Amino acid sequence: MATETTQILARLEEISAQVEAVDKRVRFTEELVEEMIPIARLVVSSATTRLGDWEERGVFDMIAVMQDAAGRILDNYTKDDAEHLADAIVGILSTVRNLTQPGVLQIANQATDVLRQADGVKPVGMFGAMRKASSDKEIQRGLGVMLEIMRAVGRTQGGSAEGVSVLPPALEATAAAPAVAKAVTPTPKAAAPAAPVAAAPEIIQWEGHDFDANGFLIDPNTWTPELAGKIANGLGITLTEEHMHVLEWVRDDYASSGASPNVRRVATGSGAGTQNMYKLFPPTPGKNCAMIAGVPKPVGCV
């Protein structure tokens, strides 16, 4: 029995110690609250006045609008767009710098001045505009500038953006790679299909002479009778006295008139006759004759 009593007593002592600790903590809290209340009052009253002030100034409205705008931006732009923007930022900055050059700003200033005074301007019809454009030097210069701008716009729209890039040349190379990778419509030049024979004005070297892609001698002055024989052989023709007579006539006519004679002119002028022309230079008398004579391809269809 005695042991039980001592146990209970010990327990009570323990509990009383705990109660004391709790009491102490409560007292601390009370003190803290007492100390905090004036400060809190001060802060809250200050904050409410500040917030009221802000509300009066429309800050909340603006924040609400900004949140809305941010939401819209997030709706309309994807992560790719943001990356693209990062790529383009150098270009954007460069454009802004160009736009803020003093000369450009002056033009903008003057334009706004004119717009401010636009009430006094009389309406101008079609013919009035033409008359002004034909007499007023300043309008003419302005039109010239506008046309240049239009050309630049057209060039970018057409896909060949050469010369109108907004990037400084040094940055061009770095920006070019992502731009090409992300472009949808313009295909890289390397991927274009092989050009047909007549497309490129390429020069072909043969027997020490320059020929165009169609086989015509580029410089008629480098022609020799030996070369004529070689070309004729290539075309399956063996030159005779008769051929040489026609060729000499063609070369003389080219030298005097500055243009390649057509078949009819050669046939009547050299005395060979149409029928002989087809016999001498088969199967295309105009083309083959000019080719062997070392003059350009004749124009015309007779």
Residues recognised as catalytic = 301
| Position 284 contacts other proteins (CB under 8 A) | yes
Q: For other proteins, which residue of 178, 218, 259, 278 counts as binding (CB under 8 A)?
A: 278
Nearer to other proteins, 243 or 265 (CB): 265
Peptide bond into 283 cis (omega under 30): yes
Task: Rule CB under 8 A: say whether 206 interacts with other proteins.
Answer: yes
> Which run of H or of E encompasses 181?
helix 169-182
Closest to other proteins by CB, 123 or 196: 196
Asked whether position 233 contacts other proteins by CB under 8 A, the answer is yes
Among 88, 167, 213, 218, binds other proteins (CB under 8 A): 213
Q: Which residues of 56-92 are buried (b: 16+ CB within 10 A; e: fewer)?
A: eeeeeeeeeeeeeeeeeeeeeeeeeeeeeeebbeebe
Closer CB to other proteins, 179 or 253, in the complex: 253
Is residue 236 a contact residue for other proteins (CB under 8 A)? yes
CB of 222 to other proteins, least distance (A): 16
Long-range contacts: 103-110, Cβ < 8 Å, 24+? none
Size of the site for other proteins (CB under 8 A): 33
214 vs 240 by CB, closer to other proteins: 214
- Is there binding between residue 193 and other proteins (CB under 8 A)? no
Which window, 37-45, 56-64, 163-171, 234-242, contacts other proteins (CB under 8 A)? 234-242
Query: Using the rule CB under 8 A, which residue among 156, 264, 269, 296 binds other proteins?
Result: 264
What's the min distance (Å) between Cβ of 277 and other proteins?
8
Q: Is the dihedral of CA 227, 231, 234, 240 positive or negative?
A: negative
Q: Is 197 in the site for other proteins (CB under 8 A)?
A: yes
Stretch that binds other proteins, among 116-124, 149-157, 165-173, 270-278 (CB under 8 A): 270-278
Q: Can you name the residues that pair with 204 across neighbouring β-strands? A: 211
**Position 283 contacts other proteins (CB under 8 A):** yes
How many other CB atoms are found less than 10 A from the CB of residue 272?
22
The reply on whether position 230 binds other proteins by CB under 8 A is: yes
Q: What are phi and psi of 17, to 5 degrees?
A: -60, -45
Q: How far apart are CA 130 and CA 33, in angstroms?
A: 86
Hey, how many other C-beta atoms are within 10 angstroms of the C-beta on 116? 8
DSSP letters, 238-287, are ---HHHHHHHHHHHHHHHHHSS---HHHHHHHSS--HHHHHHHS-S-HHH
270 bridge partner residues:
none
Backbone angles phi, psi at 300, to 5 degrees: 110, 170
**Out of 166, 231, 246, 250, the residue judged to bind other proteins by CB under 8 A:** 231
Asked if 290 and 297 touch (Cβ cutoff 8 Å), the reply is: yes
The smaller minimum CB distance to other proteins, of residues 247 and 292, is found at: 292
Is residue 112 classed as helix, strand or coil in its secondary structure?
helix
Judged by CB under 8 A, which stretch of 52-60, 104-112, 133-141, 272-280 contacts other proteins?
272-280
Contacts to other proteins by CB under 8 A: 196-197, 204, 206, 211, 213-215, 230-231, 233-236, 262-265, 267, 273-275, 277-278, 282-287, 300-302
